[in-house]
Structures are given as structure tokens and as C-alpha cells.
Amino acid sequence: MRRTLSVPRTVSPFTATTLGAPRIGPHRELKRAIEGYWAGRIDKAQLESVAADLRAQTWNQLTAAGLDSIPVNTFSYYDQMLDTAVLLGALPGRYTDLTHELDRYFAAARGTAEIAPLEMTKWFDTNYHYIVPEIGPSTQFSLNPAKVVAELEEAQELGIAARPVIIGPITFLALSKAVDGAEPPIGRLDELIAVYATLLATLANHGAEWVQIDEPVLATDMLDDAADLARHAYNVLGDLSYRPAIFVATYFGELTDALPALAATPVEAIGIDLVAGSASTVAVVPELANKTVVAGVVDGRNIWRTDLQSALGTLASLLGSVAHLAVSTSCSTLHVPYALDAEPDIDAVLRSWLAFGFEKVTEVVALAKGLTQGREAIAGEVAASNGAIASRTSDPRLHNNDVRERLASILASGLTRGQAADRRKSQDARLNLPVLPTTTIGSYPQTVEIRKARAALVAGEIDDTEYTNRMKAEVESVIRLQERLGIDVLVHGEPERNDMVQYFAEQLEGFFATANGWVQSYGTRCVRPPILFGDVARPKPMTVDWATYAQSLTDKPVKGMLTGPVTILAWSFVRDDQPLADSANQVALAIRDETVDLEAAGIAIIQVDEPALRELLPLRRKDKDAYLDWAVSAFRLSTSGVADATQIHTHLCYSEFGEVIGAIADLDADVTSVEAARSHMEIVGDLTAAGFANSIGPGVYDIHSPRVPNTGEIADGLRAALSAVGPERLWVNPDCGLKTRKADEVEAALRNMVEAAKQVRADA
Ligand code: GLN
Ligand code: ZN
């Protein structure tokens, strides 16, 4: 049943929108409901009603704020890539026996006792994790539009100017993983375009005037032929005679040659991220004179208030080059907290510098008004924005001269330690460890007692002293456990840390924490990133008491545990008024001071974790070297203040190093632990081949699974590693921290690990 619309179609243009909105609920209502459903506390109908209420609330708020086109289908029970896999009939066969649709969906997201979940990985360079679809020879795409159609109808019934949002075919395939020997999924673009064609007709049938198709991959170097693929896909979809108007949204970077390619296709609108990229790219593409350009001038992924005057200037500069200009956030506001009104305790000055999701929408509306009615129409808003910016630039907390001077002088004197071989000699003499020393990555299970104590402290039922005493009891029990197991290098277990970044941010000047600034990290997991707003200083030691207490309980060495500068930045909202490299160095200086204090307190081994080193890697190849330079240099700044006899460890949470492998060697840590169990120790050889000559602790078992590894398989892994490095360079440890595991699993697994190390030592 195909109706024909006239082409060029007559659609009403929109002027103010956002690319997507947070969905977990202003008070994490969705998280609670989903976890309640998993635990059997509520049923499907109750879960659906919480979700529908949240959707209606979001759409009504966006409409009331003044947006004239509202994104729908940006809601998700877990993740939008997983939703897209379901939409396209691309769930792997192992889930098809689960007949209950919602349970099948959650099985793909999280696994069941019998079936492995899909993998999860970072969404571009954000802290959001998406579910990675698997595309194999048996994947048969088919359209399953129930969710997007239901949300469209739901919004239409509420009188919302709804614009369905779907992830585009190029991005979907580029982010999917080939399985069972299949070729790279992008080879199946034509098949998928046919499915999208049917989807577009379906959405037109349901009265969608506009559809937003997200293609962020076009702003990256993930595909070599992105421009050609874009030209092809959107010529085919654009040429369809029966479809809604198409808005191709891109974000997180500049488009380069994909922009003229898209502009030459029949799509009606193109979204450009003008926070990450520059407006000058628009004027040089003559075809944009026939398009709506959706200008992402309000930063959708950081929390700073927009400089309205400068954004208006950017918008004005575009007017002559495009047919119609709409204002938008640069990307979905999924990446920022809901609204500032949930933060009554932030001091008024700081607060005036900020814009969370809701405030960003009001900025978009103001800018659209300024654009259509003239600058005078928003004179009040511009004045307030100028005032906030003036207050921020002149705030004394942004400039700490002591910190800047000390930093300059340390940087000038160089960040090198002694030669690795000399360090090893002094460390061996001091530590006296066996070959193949055993250790763990830092955290031990967050037990019920720990959680109870933390809740009681927050509720005011116990005081700081009582809380500290309870945490000390935990430390003692973790030390005793490690002694019983015969581990060589101990840790204190990190019970006092809510989060490995927040814990440090709370103790550093220049950061502040929000009370309710929750952002979805993946599924129902939410994080509250600290806000880095000023120069960073460390008023006093942060971890020394814990480390020395733990060390006082045992004769074995206890590692001091710190989070590295790159990871602290990666998991915070960062200041946008100076290069990231400068902020990294300031954090690094604070960590360096901490290492020096730990050393002075007698701690012989200090671990500086950098699990986020790879995820901050820029999306464009041309920017990567500069990033790795400053990231490595910040790490070295944080670790080069100690004597050669103090052993520096680092931990990286992944095994596919790819473009960062050279940087790992440049970090020059004495010992580097990495994830390796799932990739069968190949990483040991890869690292050695890349010139890495220090010690390595390839994770000998996967801590992400409750399964207890047996001694034989751990010993086999160690022997495999020994074929790539000599015994004097090999450490024995799990893949990552143990905080998500149960105490009995941890004890059993570590017992087998220590036993395996003994067996392999005997014949090494
Ligand atoms: N030391 C941290 C822990 O063990 C490291 C966590 C991580 O790698 N993300 O929990
Ligand atoms: Zn880890």
C-alpha cells in the first residue's frame, strides 16, 4: 500500500530541537524499575508503566520548554544499539529459544545462567557503553518496528511533534562485530538499506513527518570509505518516493569529506556538531544551500553553560550558506544529568556556570528565538550568559599560582626515573620477591557489611570514626585472607572507595561532586561524574593513612593504590577553558605528591591505575599522537617523583591495545597488569614485540565471570605467557579488581592462582 508524496516534499521545518534526552529518570526511576523486574519484585506491566510515565514526562517537558520537534525512540530499557539489533532482526540465534520478548532482550544484554550476553564497549569517546551486535553468516536482517512505532504512536496521542530517532545503517554495521568467520559487517550495507527503506515507509504510514537517522561514525576514521558509503546509502534512501523527511544526525566530531557527500544526496536535513567541529566547514559545501542544517551549538556532553553570544555568532555565520537553519544540542543529552534543580547544594556561583540536560534545552530554545526574532528578543538571556562567563573567567579558583609554578618547574626538570634495569636491581634487593610473584589488582568484594556501613554513614546513623573503624576491620580481614592464601604482594582491598575516580575528586581542590548528577553508564548502571572546574591542588594526603594501616598489619609488601590522571579526567566532566593536557598535568602533580608521601611512609610498591588510557583516544587519526604524548607525559609526571627502589605498577583494563601499544611501553611502569585471560595471553607476545621490556602481569583469569578457574588452566596460561617473556618479567594476577565478585568465588579462584604459580615456578 504505497502512497506517493510529491518530491520535493512539503514538510514543516523545525527550528529548535535536541538529538536525544536522558532516559534513566530524574531520580533513576527506570533503573530501580528494571532492577525490580529482574529481581521479580515487579512485573512487566508495572515496568512498562514506569517507562511510559518517564517518556511522557520527558516529551512534555521538551515541548513545554519550546522545542518544536521532539526526538522519540531515544528511550531504552538497556541500550539503543541493542534496540537497533532487535529492530533489524539481528539478535544472534542463541537467544531465539527465549520466547518471552523482554526476557530475550535482557538475556542478550546481560546473559543468563546458560547463555552468554553480547559484548559491551564504549560508545565512541564517551563513557556510555553500548551492546555490540554480532553479525555472522546466519544473520538474516528483517524488520521488527514494534518499539519505534509504539513510541511514535504514544507520543502522537499526547499531541507531541514526534520525530522518531534510529541509528543509521552505516553506524550500526560499523559498530557491530563479525562472528563465526563472517566478513566485516559493513559489507552488508545494501541488504540493510533495503530494510531501512521498509522502515521509512512504515514510519511514513504512521504519520512521521521527520525521521532522525544517527550516523556518528561519519565523524570518525573507523571506516576508510565513509564518504562513499554515506553518498550511496543516503542516495538510495533519499530517492525513495514514499518516506518521511530525513534528518541525518552526526556528532562527536567533524565530518570532513562525508559532509559534501551527504549534502549531495536528497536528504532534507543534516546535523553537524559545532562544538567538536567548526562552522567554517559549512560555507565550502555549496549543496548545503538546499538543505536544512541542524546546528549543534549547545554542548550535549559537557555541563558548562553555553556562551549564547558566541553561539549566536556561529549561527549567524551559517545563515547565508544554508536553506534553513535549526538549533540543537551537539549530541543527545544522554551524557549529562537531567536538570540543575536536583542540585540545591551547589554554591550559587558554581551553579551559574552550569547547564545540565534541561538547561541545555532552554539554551537551544533561546538561540532559536534569537535567530528568528533577532538578538534583542533574547537580550536578557544573553546578558545572563555573559554574566556567568565573566564570573567564571575571573574566579580565583581557576588559577592557583603555586600549582602552576611547581608544575612548570617539575616539567622543566624532566620526568625520567633511573634506567629500568637499575630500578629493577634496587627493587629486587628491597622486595625480595619470588619469581612469578602473585598479586591482585586492588579491590576485594564490596561486602554487605561495607555497603551497610556506607548507607549508615550517609543516613547519619554512624559517625566518621565508626565508619572508619568498620572499614579498617575490612582491611584487616582482606590482609589476613591474602596472607592465608600465600599471596606475595598484598593490597588493602579499597573498601573505603565508593568509586576509583570520585574518591580522589572528593579530596582534591578544583573538583566538586554533584548530589544527583547521575548519568547512564550502561544498562541500569549510572555514575555521578565529578566536575573539574578549577586548578587542581591536593590539600593533604589522600590514601596514606589507609596504606600505612594496611602495611602495619603484615610483613609482606602492601601496594599503595592510586588512580591515574588520564582516568580521573576521562571519568569526570572536564573544564573547557584550557587544553585537556594542562588539566591532566595538574591532576598528575597531585598524584605525584601522593606517591612521594606514600614512599615516605614506607610503602615500597605503588600502583597507578590507567584503565581509561585507551578510551580517551581521539576519534580522528590525525589527533592521536598528540593525545598519546600528553597522556603518557601526565602518567610519567605522576610516577617519576619516587626513588628507583620504589616499584611503580600500572593496570590497564583491556587486552586489545592496537594503537596504544607503543604508549604502554612509554609509560615505563615497572610492572603493568593487563587483561589477558579472554585473549589467551597473546598480549604478552604483542607487548614484547612492541618493545615493552619491563615486567608484565597478564590477567590469568577472567574476573567478569563468576566461574572459578582451576589450577591446571591457570598454570597453562602462565606457561603460555612464559613462552613470550622470561620468568623474571612475569607476574601472576587476575584480570581486574575483585569488587564485583562474591567472597567465596574470590577465595577459591585466588587459592588456585597461587597454587598454579607454585607449580609453574617449580619447573620454571
Ligand atoms: N584498582 C582498581 C580495582 O581493583 C582497578 C579498577 C579498574 O581497573 N577499573 O578495583
Ligand atoms: Zn581493570
Q: Which three cell numbers, joined as nine digits, stand for 214?
A: 544517527
Q: Select from 650, 633, 639, 652 the least CA-distant residue to 599.
A: 639
Is 331 labelled a binding residue? no
Which 3 state secondary structure label does DSSP give 527? strand
pLDDT at 291 over 90: yes
| Residue range 247-276: mean pLDDT, rounded | 97
Residue ranges covered by each domain of the chain:
16-86+116-394, 424-444+475-763
Q: 566: CA distance to ligand 2 center in Å?
A: 14
Residue keyed to cell 591505575: 609
Residue keyed to cell 512504515: 202
Q: Which three cell numbers, joined as nine digits, stand for 181?
A: 568467520
Q: What is the pLDDT of residues 552-567, one digit of tens each?
A: 999 999 999 999 999 9
Q: 357-378 b/e with 16+ CB inside 10 Å = b?
A: bbbbbbbbbbbbbbbeeeeeeb
Q: Are 101 and 110 in contact (CB under 8 A)?
A: no
**For residue 9, what pLDDT band results from cuts at 50, 70 and 90?**
low
Q: What is the dihedral of CA 470, 472, 474, 476, to 10 degrees?
A: -140
Is 424-444+475-763 assigned to CATH 3.20.20.210? Answer: yes
**For residue 7, what pLDDT band results from cuts at 50, 70 and 90?**
very low
In short, whether 567's Cβ falls inside 6 Å of ligand 1 is no
∠ Cα 208 210 214 (to 5°): 120
Q: Which residues contact 52 (CB under 8 A, 6 or more apart)?
A: 154
Q: What is the pLDDT of residues 449-462, one digit of tens each?
A: 999 999 999 899 99
pLDDT above 90: percentage of residues in the chain: 90
Q: Are 72 and 162 in contact (CB under 8 A)?
A: yes
Name the region of 511 (left: φ>0; alpha: ψ -120 to 50; beta: rest).
beta
Please list the active-site residues.
704
Q: Of ligand 1's atoms, which has the minimum distance to the CA of residue 443?
A: 4
**For residue 613, what pLDDT band results from cuts at 50, 70 and 90?**
very high
The pTM is what? Answer: 0.94
| Residue range 223-249: mean pLDDT, rounded | 97
In short, whether 563's Cβ falls inside 6 Å of ligand 1 is no
In short, whether 497's Cβ falls inside 6 Å of ligand 1 is no
The packing angle between helices 146-157 and 80-87, to 10°, is: 110
pLDDT at 654 over 80: no
Best residue among 651, 653, 703, 741 to mutate for probing ligand 1, ranked by most atoms within 8 Å of CB: 651
d(CA 608, CA 648): 7
Q: What is the pLDDT of residues 459-514, one digit of tens each?
A: 999 999 999 999 999 999 999 999 999 999 999 999 999 899 999 999 999 999 99
Q: Which three cell numbers, joined as nine digits, stand for 159?
A: 499531541
Q: Give the other-Cβ count within 10 Å of 594's Cβ.
A: 24
The residue whose C-alpha atom lies closest to atom 6 belonging to ligand 1 is 737
Which 3 state secondary structure label does DSSP give 295? strand
**For residue 5, what pLDDT band results from cuts at 50, 70 and 90?**
very low
For residue 413, with 0-12 CB atoms within 10 Å meaning exposed, 13-18 middle and 19 or more buried, which class applies?
exposed
| Residue range 351-358: mean pLDDT, rounded | 97
Q: Select from 184, 242, 243 the least CA-distant residue to 217.
A: 184
The residue whose C-alpha atom lies closest to atom 3 belonging to ligand 1 is 737
Q: Which residues contact 484 (CB under 8 A, 6 or more apart)?
A: none
Residue 699 vs residues 79, 339, 453: alpha-carbon distances, Å: 29, 41, 31
Do the domains 16-86+116-394 and 424-444+475-763 sit in the same CATH topology, yes or no?
yes
User: For the domain bounded by 16-86+116-394, which CATH number is listed?
Assistant: 3.20.20.210
Best residue among 443, 499, 610 to mutate for probing ligand 1, ranked by most atoms within 8 Å of CB: 443
Is 736 labelled a binding residue? yes
**For residue 45, what pLDDT band results from cuts at 50, 70 and 90?**
very high
Q: Of ligand 1's atoms, which has the minimum distance to the CA of residue 652?
A: 8
